[in-house]
Chains A and B, each alone.
Chain A
Amino acid sequence: MKWALNTRHYWLIASVVIVAGVVGTVSGNVDLPIPFMSALLGTSTMPAPVIPSLVVAIVAGGSIQSAEMLWTFASVRNVVAHSMALAAAVVLLVFVVSSTTGILVGDSAVAVLLTRDVAGFLVLWSVSRALGIERFASLVPVVYLLIAAIFARNSLGQTRGWAWILDRDLGNLWAVYTIFLGTLLTLLFVLRRRSLLGGAKGPKV
């Protein structure tokens, strides 16, 4: 059991979360220009914390899935539930690290934004798994960011709602619905222990 848990690379995940939490909070008010939308319609930007959030999602997602490969299919434990509990713990840790850093640097508002972004990316990762994209579930958050950074602007130069990751507004309903529905699907996946669209029981190895 201990061996199986260690394969999740807790220390790697924790280190990445701490570094990303600090970097994301310190650079929280920086806006990075996006060339793909800016060139023709004026400057577009994305909040800098998006990048550390993405790194956390890739590392956490990859590490969690790598560990699942070492668990037997016959395990009486719900492996997926363990994995998703760890993902939730990652989100919590990001909030704690970011809030603490925020207190030290005198800017606590970024913690919520960073936590939303990490939660959003991890929800996309878990939903991808729930829908059967097992091997490259960590690729889905990156593809989402890419598509958002390329196609988010409409002809009036406004950012479309579905590209909430580029939006600092914490009240963006698209973000709220994405995280809420994603969590719901993830819970179904946890209870079912296999892809919601069919497929073999348990994660693919």
Chain B
Amino acid sequence: MLPVTRRPAWWLLAPAIGLVVLYVQQYVPSLQIIAQREAAVAASALLLIFSASLVSTTAALEVGRDRASCGMTEVSVRSKIEVVAVRLWPCLVAGTIVQMSGIFVLLDKAGSAPDRFPVLITVGLLCALLFHAGIGVFLGTWLRPRFAVPFALALSYLWLGFAWSFDFVPVRYLAGLALEGCCSPSETVDISAVVALIVFSLAGFVGLVLMAGGVDSRKLRPRGNRNWLRLVAGIATLGLGTSLGLFAARDVGVNPVVARPLADAQCSNSVPEVCLFSTQLARGDTRHVYADTFTVLAARGMPKVTQVFSISGDHEPVLSAQGVANVVAAPGQSRSAALESAASTFAVAASNTECGDDVSTDIYGWSEVLKVWSVQAAALQILDSEEREGIPDTSFLELISEPGETDFAQQWQVLSGFDEQSQNDWAASTYRQLSQCQVPAQLGVGPR
């Protein structure tokens, strides 16, 4: 067995792990992955830049060593597969250790979670390392190490970095980095994206190793029919893997996610009924806050809500005609955050109304005023004084109040001076008007 100093994979392992930890600590916020193992492991797709770079570079170095030391008339007594395996295992093991280190750091950051460890995503990410090992093997065999090693690193980076931004979305899933877009409390991974990654990576590895077999005569072009055959077989395998991968990912969207079935949600016994997923409940149950908020707002004249859930999907309305509200609920959110999420439902639903280009943009300003009012009205009855600190947040109203146009911050001041019944009447009529694309009238100064 070669000593550690002769295996670049081992002495590059520690710096690679160090960079992984540094990257996770600096760039991956806990909020994105809190209480979600699936999201934590998917976020580790970004760390492929470290593990895959390590694998491709060290593979090119290892194979390049064979290329440089092989004599003109030397014949290997071991099969080509055996030689490749002996050269590659430290690279692949080191890459796996780096990737798994990143996953463990992210899981630690995510904390305890109700969902299971996503084995399939992990397998997919580790398979991606095989493709990069293939890049290293091919370049290390074809070119001198002086060219092969930097090109292997550059190619790995370019593949990971730029496949991610292809307009043709299925290509993104062949590189694996786009898995980073998964997942959220209401969304789970789209298995097709991972299958595409696995199929492409395995076929790509086999294809690149076959191609390397065809160019191992230290010439830029293959010599002999057998070598040409290997090269063609390698290219064909690579092409087949690409086609299968693209076919597998043909229906995957920009984010590799599918909505969790509502049947998985846990519903409360309250009125309205509030259904949240186990991940959303992992850091505290805020379902009663949602229920109380809608009850309070119904008593103040807003439409009655019968059911509340939190699911993803653009096709799901924020508030349906049947009184079903779709809210945002993140694990670990505070009571005040839950209240704001619930109370802003009416304003968001009103501002989502498609009004065409003819309607004044003031409609969005008024929906913001309605939102501030809803949050204030619910907070006064549900939250205690400490929890109400910073509520309502009127900074956005000041931001959207342009000189010479409607001063929404001032309109809010006027509205908050009204008595309770007047405020209720204003809110109910404003919601109705906004839902019909009508701009509410400006408020007069003084109590009504």
Contacts and interface: CB of A to CB of B under 8 A. Distances in A.
Interface of A: 32-37, 39-41, 51, 54-55, 58-59, 62, 65-66, 135-136, 138-139, 141-143, 145-146, 149-151, 153
Given A33-B164, A35-B164, A40 B150 contact: no
B344 interface: no
B161 A149 contact: yes
Contacts of A139: 57, 149-150, 153
Contact of A32 (B46, B53, B162): B162
B146 A146 contact: no
A141 B180 CA distance: 27
Given A35-B161, A58-B154, A150-B49, A40 B147 contact: no
Contacts of A143: 153
A58 B147 contact: yes
B28 interface: yes
Interface string B19-50: 10011001111001000000000000010010
Nearest to B146: A62
Interface residues of B, number: 30
A39 B180 contact: yes
Contacts, number: 76
A45 to B, nearest CB: 10
A141 B157 CA distance: 13
25 contacts: A32-B161, A32-B162, A34-B161, A35-B164, A36-B46, A36-B161, A40-B27, A41-B27, A62-B144, A62-B150, A65-B146, A136-B146, A136-B150, A138-B150, A139-B153, A141-B150, A142-B154, A142-B157, A145-B157, A146-B53, A146-B157, A150-B19, A150-B23, A151-B22, A151-B26
Interface string B139-154: 0000011110111011
Contacts of B28: 40
Contact of A54 (B29, B46, B154): B154
Q: Nearest 9 A-B pairs (CB), nearest first? A: A62-B146, A35-B164, A138-B150, A62-B147, A33-B165, A58-B150, A139-B150, A142-B153, A142-B150
B14 interface: no
Contacts of A142: 150, 153-154, 157
B343 interface: no
A66 B49 contact: no
A33 to B, nearest CB: 4
Contacts of A149: 157, 161
Of B26, B53, B154, the most chain A CB neighbours within 10 A belong to B154
Interface in B165-192: 165, 177, 180
A186 B177 CA distance: 38
A146 B49 contact: yes
B411 to A, nearest CB: 32
Contacts of A65: 146
B147 A36 contact: no
Nearest to B180: A39
A55 to B, nearest CB: 8
Given A54-B154, A66-B146, A39 B165 contact: no
Interface in B55-110: 57
A35 B32 contact: no
A142 B155 CA distance: 10
B443 interface: no
A190 to B, nearest CB: 20
